[in-house]
Amino acid sequence: MPGSAVPWRGPNALLYSRRNVKTLLAWSSGKDSAWTLHVLRQQGVPVSALLTTINQAADRVAMHGVRSSLLEAQAESAGLPLWKIPLPWPCTNDDYESRMSDACHRAVAEGFDTIAFGDLFLADIRRYRERQLAGSGLTPLFPLWQIPTAALARDMIAGGVRARLACVDTKALDASFAGRDFDLGLLADLPPGADPCGENGEFHTFVYAGPMFRVPIEIELGEVRDVGGFVYRDLLGVGSTGLRPEADEGVGRRPGGLPHGAGAS
C-alpha cells in the first residue's frame, strides 16, 4: 500500500526487484546514501533521481556542509538527475516539511511511487519518515535497515567506496578526524562507543569514488572551520577557487525535530 513502509531487511531481500517501481533516492552526498544506490541497483530496483536538501544561504548540503558543485558532480557520475530542495536559513520545522511535501507531490506527479533512504537503525527517524509519507503516494524503502554497522562499514570499504569525513561532532570525535578518509584505519581509530558508520551523528562523509559512480570525483582538502562544535573540512573540486559563501552557519543543523545529523552519514 503506498505510504506504508516496505519491510526490507538488508541487501539480500528481493521484495521490490520483482515489481515495476520508480524510485527516488534521498541523497546526502555521504556513504550511506551512496551504498543504498549501489544496493538498489544490485537488486534490480530502478533509481530514477536523487533528492538532496540544500542550505540555500550557503549553497551546501544540509548537515554535511558539502558544496553544491561536488553534489552535482556526484549526480553526473551516478548518471542520475538531481533534485535540489533549497531550505531557508534559519529553517523551521514548518519550512522543512513544506519544502519536502512539495518535493513529494512533484515525485508523485512524475510517476514515482517509492522513495528510498539510507537509514541504518535509528527508529525515531524511520518513524518520522513513515509518518510524513503516510498518504503521500510514496512508499518509503529502507534497504540498509538494521544491517550491523561494523560489518556494513567494512563491506562499503571492501566494495570500493572512497569517502572523506566532511563533518565531525566534537562531542563524539576529535576535530582531527575531519577530512580523514573513511577507511579501515579510521575505523580502528574510532573511540569506544562511536558507531562505525556514524549513524548517531558522530561524523558525515562525502563519497568521491565507488561502484555507484562511473568515474571518481577529484577533490582536494580545503580549510577547517568550527561551527558550534561541529568541525567541517571544506572539500574542493580540483581546480576550484576555494571561495565559499559567508552564510554557512546552519549547515550542520537538522530541521524537522530530529536528532542532529543522525542517520545521514
Confirm if 168 and 143 have CB atoms less than 8 A apart: no
CA atoms of 256 and 18, how far apart (whole Å): 34
Q: Specify the fold of 23-141.
A: Rossmann fold (3.40.50)
- Return phi, psi of residue 62, to 5°: -55, 135
DSSP conformation letters of 197-241 = T-TTSSEEEEEEESTT-SS---EEEEEEEEETTEEEEEEEETT--
What is the rounded distance in angstroms from the CA atom of residue 207 to the CA atom of residue 219? 10
Query: For the residues 176-199, what does the mean pLDDT come to?
Result: 98
Cβ burial of 20 (10 Å; 0-12, 13-18, 19+) is: exposed
| Strands 139-141 and 60-61, bridge-based pairing | unpaired
Average pLDDT over residues 223-229: 97
pLDDT of res. 227: 95
Choose among 186, 158, 178: nearest CA to 230.
Answer: 178
Neighbour-count burial for 197-220, b at 16+ CB within 10 Å, e otherwise: bbbbbbbbbbbbbbebbeeebebe
pLDDT value of position 264:
60
**Mean of the pLDDT values across residues 225-243?**
86
User: Mean pLDDT for the chain?
Assistant: 88
Over residues 252-256, mean pLDDT: 43
- Domain boundary assignment for the chain: 23-141, 151-237
| Radius of gyration over every alpha carbon of the chain, rounded to an integer in angstroms | 17
Which tens digit of pLDDT belongs to each residue from 105-162? 999 999 999 999 999 999 999 999 999 999 999 999 999 999 999 999 999 999 999 9
168 grid coordinates: 565531525
Q: What was the pLDDT predicted at 3?
A: 39
Q: Give the other-Cβ count within 10 Å of 22's Cβ.
A: 15
What local confidence, expressed as pLDDT, does residue 263 receive? 52
**What is the pLDDT confidence band of residue 246, given thresholds at 50, 70 and 90?**
very low
pTM for this entry: 0.88
Query: In this model, does residue 250 exceed pLDDT 50?
Result: no
What was the pLDDT predicted at 20?
73
Beta bridge partners of 23: 47, 114
pLDDT digits (tens, 9 = 90+) for 56-65: 999 999 999 9
- The model's confidence at residue 265, banded by pLDDT at 50, 70 and 90, is confident
Contact present, 144 and 118 (Cβ < 8 Å)? yes
Q: Let me know the angle formed at the C-alpha of 70 by 23 and 180, rounded to the nearest 5 degrees.
A: 105
3-state secondary structure string across 7-57 = CCCCCCCCCCCCCCCCEEEECCCCHHHHHHHHHHHHCCCCEEEEEEEEECC
- The pLDDT value given to residue 127: 98
- Grid coordinates representing 215 are 568515474
